[in-house]
Chain A
Amino acid sequence: MTDASVTPTGAVLDTKHIVEALLFAADHPLTSEQLASLIEETTPAMIEDVVRDLEADYVMQRRAFGIKRIADGFQIVTRSDYAAWIERLRAAAPRPRLSRPALETLAIIAYKQPVARVELESIRGVSVDAVLRTLLERGMVEVSGRGEGLGRPLLYRTTGHFLEYFGLPGLDALPRPEELEVLFADREHQEELEFDSGDRIAGEDE
């Protein structure tokens, strides 16, 4: 499907235009595998090239939209500069953002998945019952199975909807823990947690 044949109506039937049509019409991100399976004689690698090509076209032509990599796939989205006008079109109240506890819990699940509730609670130091229910109901997390431990606890993992909601190409788009700034102290401290046991009381007496 690489040689461009032109139909009587003037449509170009090459891979690039077909990918464009598919991305334009799709409600959800399409992966290169999905696209390749829909278009004859293409491979995911070819699709990746074509998508890059398309995005370059859009940038060059200063289109109001571009192709974003979300949830392992591609999606045509409007550029953020036009958000204000689209918001007017939408009229309805913006959807609620996730609460801070929900984000914290999601963050832990994203890194530790599959993870049991006890571990979430041990890290956050509070009960996560209600938060977990909200996350399940909003389709951000799902049960992936049962753990080995006592009572075979349910294990949770993040969903594709989670990636879509945050516009993440994949889980690896999140910073790795070692990349995080350790706010408190020097980094070398973290390697080996050695405490100065000599004058540990000295500094804290009022």
Chain B
Amino acid sequence: MADVESTGHSVKLETLDFEGPLDLLVYLVKKNEVDIYDIPIALITEQFLEYVEAMTREKLESAGEFLLMAATLMRIKAQMLLPQPDLDDEEIDDPRRELVLKIIEYQQFKEIAEHLRDHESSRRLLFSRGYREWLAEDSARAEEEPADRATLGDLLRAFADVMEQAARDRIHHLEPLTVTIEEKVEFVRGRLRREGRSSFRELFVVGEPRSHWIVTFVALLEMAREGEICLRQAERFGDINVFVGEGFKK
């Protein structure tokens, strides 16, 4: 085990980038060459806080998770300073236990991620028939601006637009509902099955009574909730597009 005292001074961390608080902890444990099963919590906490302090000055937005971990570390540190009721009792729960298990688990997946990186690298050297198309497909997917998911507010705004248009050019007459949500769900599914996507507007059939449009809207909400469709908006207040979702029923 390393001589902990000698590494107790400040560590240059500011230039390093970490994926999250666990990533930073893994780094600190390795860097100090300490025993993961007997982490010197005071030292690690101190270095962790140094990093968080440096980080919060630059990118505050991602600091929340680090601060939460800092609080956990300080709590553990405090618990460790409390006198133990009976040191011989083998059932004593080490306050570090939970954290240590998390660090180990995270470290394992980090390693597996490295394995995947290796596989990715060697796979890129192998070419098969259709690889151009395959690559194009994959890069298209990778580059496709991941349009933001439309929020409920966006949806209601879009629906209000549709209804407003209807209000302008129609005389209304009351009539009983002749369409069910299920029918509209099936209608939307049919459209998506054929085209893979649809604009939000297109789903409101021109000439249909307004009551039908409301049913269509409810059907869309229902399908979005079930994950059958995915509602996307390329820009704020832009048109909403409906895509096949993860739970789409063919």
Contact = CB atoms under 8 A, between A and B. Distances in A.
Contact of A200 (B29, B38, B119, B120): B38
Interface stretch (B138-146, B160-168, B193-201): B138-146
B109 A138 contact: no
A183 interface: yes
B111 interface: yes
Given A100-B19, A108-B109, A193-B101, A206 B38 contact: no
Task: Assign chain A's interface to a size class.
Answer: 35 or more
B37 A185 contact: yes
A78 interface: yes
A107 B106 CA distance: 10
Contact of A97 (B81, B96, B102, B120): B120
Nearest to A136: B246
A107 to B, nearest CB: 4
A89 to B, nearest CB: 9
Nearest to A110: B112
Contacts of A75: 128
A201 B84 CA distance: 11
A175 B115 contact: yes
A190 B104 contact: yes
A106 interface: yes
Interface string A96-109: 11101101101110
Interface string B86-104: 0100101010110011101
B112 A107 contact: yes
B37 A201 contact: no
A118 interface: no
Interface stretch (A10-18, A40-48, A121-129): A121-129
| Residue from A24, A25, A104, A139 having most chain B Cβ neighbours under 10 A | A104
Interface string A168-206: 100000110100111111000110011111101101111
Given A75-B128, A83-B127, A204 B109 contact: no
Report the interface size class on chain B: 35 or more
A205 B77 CA distance: 11
Contact of A26 (B107, B110, B129, B132): B129
Given A101-B19, A167-B119, A143 B227 contact: yes
B37 to A, nearest CB: 5
B22 interface: yes
B135 interface: yes
A134 interface: yes
Given A96-B143, A154-B227, A184-B35, A138 B138 contact: yes
B120 A134 contact: no
B238 interface: no
B43 interface: yes
Contacts of A185: 35-37
B65 A195 contact: no
A197 B82 CA distance: 12
A94 B120 CA distance: 13
Q: Which 7 A-B pairs have the closest CB atoms?
A: A204-B40, A27-B130, A184-B36, A167-B123, A143-B246, A126-B20, A80-B125
Interface of B: 1, 4-5, 8, 19-23, 29-30, 35-38, 40-43, 65, 69, 80-81, 84, 87, 90, 92, 94, 96-97, 100-102, 104-113, 115-117, 119-120, 122-130, 132-135, 138-139, 141-144, 146, 227, 246-247
8 contacts: A95-B142, A96-B142, A124-B20, A125-B106, A133-B146, A134-B142, A182-B104, A195-B37
